[in-house]
Amino acid sequence: MASLKPGPDRSSSPGVLGQDGTIALSGGALPSRPSQRPTLRPIGDAWAADRDRRTLVPSTRDFVVEEPAEESLPDDIHREIADRFGLGDYAAALSAAELQLGLDPDDESARRYAEISRERLEARYTTRIGSLEFVYDLAVPTARVRWLGLDPQASFLLSLLDGQTTVAEVLEVCQMGRLEALRVFTELLEAKAIVRVA
């Protein structure tokens, strides 16, 4: 029978096999004592040894703290206005320019973009209408107007169309800004709520 004593070619560290041939989970580090209460986990269980210092509360490192957004600089606003204008989105360019003018009424660059955008939009709306001398009337029965889902401005403008008044005359009495009235008129035309009669 081979000796269990470590020889010159054997390691002096404890083995994992016990004398009865079973696997010793403790690795022979601590001999079992009859007076010791048995445990269900091995002594070398790193997770159990580290459990006491663990917490279910997530670390603050798990959260990404977003820095507050910096205020838009005038150069950024001007670049956005120019980009919108360059893309032909004159409504967005006008809106951004008017917003900038609200912050700085003396901003000549924003004022110029606003003026040109208004001119381009007015020309675009007029082209869709055809001519300000055209006469339009309702394309649907009056009883069905409410089903069009129009906002108050569009409803008021629609009420001014009688098949005899020109677009130019409607623009004068509609009590709306000229550009806004042209926009609403164009939307009514595209929605096929009105039709040209003269």
Q: What residues does each domain of the chain span? A: 74-129, 136-196
Q: What is the pLDDT of residue 60?
A: 47
Q: What is the mean pLDDT of residues 61-78?
A: 59
For residue range 92-114, list pLDDT tens digits in order: 999 999 999 999 999 999 999 99
Instruction: Please classify residue 71 by burial: count the beta carbons closer than 10 Å to its beta carbon, then call 0-12 exposed, 13-18 middle and 19+ buried.
Output: exposed
Q: What is the mean pLDDT of residues 52-81?
A: 60
Q: What is the pTM of this model?
A: 0.60
Q: What is the mean pLDDT of residues 41-53?
A: 54
110 Cβ partners below 8 Å, 6+ apart?
A: 77, 78, 81, 97, 98, 100, 101, 104
User: For a pLDDT cut of 70, what percent of the chain falls above it?
Assistant: 63
For residue range 110-169, list pLDDT tens digits in order: 999 999 999 999 999 999 999 999 999 999 887 787 888 888 888 889 889 999 999 999
Q: What is the pLDDT of residue 75?
A: 85
Q: What is the mean pLDDT of the chain?
A: 77
